């Protein structure tokens, strides 16, 4: 019995033979490499019969998504998606850049969360995406009260040049999260 951990250009091979397991080493994933491997298992010099059996194939992709202020971020994301019959075999990273409003960012996150179960893997890389917040966005969180005050404090901290970039980013991400929670609750 032969076990092969197959990579793109080689395979690591173990062989169960005569009641013992032994590491056979690496085999080139070419026809001649596989034929040579097959010959090494036999006591004769006859060519082995090689049958390729496809077990699975995954597509690893990074898709750039550049958004401009006012773009429909969810629609732009959906336009990047592969056809439905290929999604289960796709590992997809969406590298977003540009600038959107708070509502656009949460719409993008919701669209990715909704699509994720259809993919082998789906990830949002939003490091290049700037998020703008306006008073209307804060009103969608709450018009007054503790939530509104918290949102305003996070907005002020995210724009405070006296704070470090890391602190401003944390405040901005916290504001995005607060906004998305409030949108989900329908407040």
pLDDT above 80 (res 16): no
Residues 6+ apart with CB under 8 A from 131: 99, 100, 101, 102, 105, 172, 175, 176
pLDDT at 164: 93
Over the stretch 125-160, which tens digit does the pLDDT of each residue have? 988 888 877 777 787 788 888 888 888 898 889 889
Q: How far apart are CA 33 and CA 10, in angstroms?
A: 9
Phi, psi of 124 (to 5 degrees): -105, 125
Over the stretch 45-55, which tens digit does the pLDDT of each residue have? 556 556 565 66
pLDDT at 122: 94
148-154 long-range CB contacts below 8 Å, 24 or more apart? Answer: 150/178, 151/175, 151/178, 151/179, 154/178
Short-list 34, 27, 35, CA closest to 10:
27
Over the stretch 36-73, which tens digit does the pLDDT of each residue have? 887 777 565 556 556 565 666 788 899 999 999 889 99
């Amino acid at each position: 019995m032969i076990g092969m951990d197959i990579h793109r250009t080689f395979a690591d091979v173990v062989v169960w033979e005569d009641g013992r397991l032994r590491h056979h080493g690496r085999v080139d994933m070419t026809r001649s490499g596989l034929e040579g491997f097959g010959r090494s298992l036999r006591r004769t010099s006859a060519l082995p019969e090689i049958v390729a059996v496809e077990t699975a194939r995954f597509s690893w992709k990074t898709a750039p998504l550049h958004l401009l202020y006012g773009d429909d971020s969810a629609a732009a994301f959906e336009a990047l998606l592969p056809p439905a019959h290929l999604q289960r075999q796709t590992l997809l990273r969406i590298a977003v850049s540009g600038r959107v409003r708070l509502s656009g960012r949460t719409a993008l996150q919701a669209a990715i969360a909704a699509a994720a179960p259809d993919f082998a893997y789906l990830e949002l890389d939003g490091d290049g995406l700037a998020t703008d917040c306006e008073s209307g966005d804060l009103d969608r969180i709450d018009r007054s009260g503790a939530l509104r005050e918290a949102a305003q404090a996070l907005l002020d901290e995210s724009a405070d040049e006296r704070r470090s970039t890391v602190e401003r980013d944390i405040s901005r991400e916290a504001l995005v999260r607060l906004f998305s929670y409030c949108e989900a609750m329908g407040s």
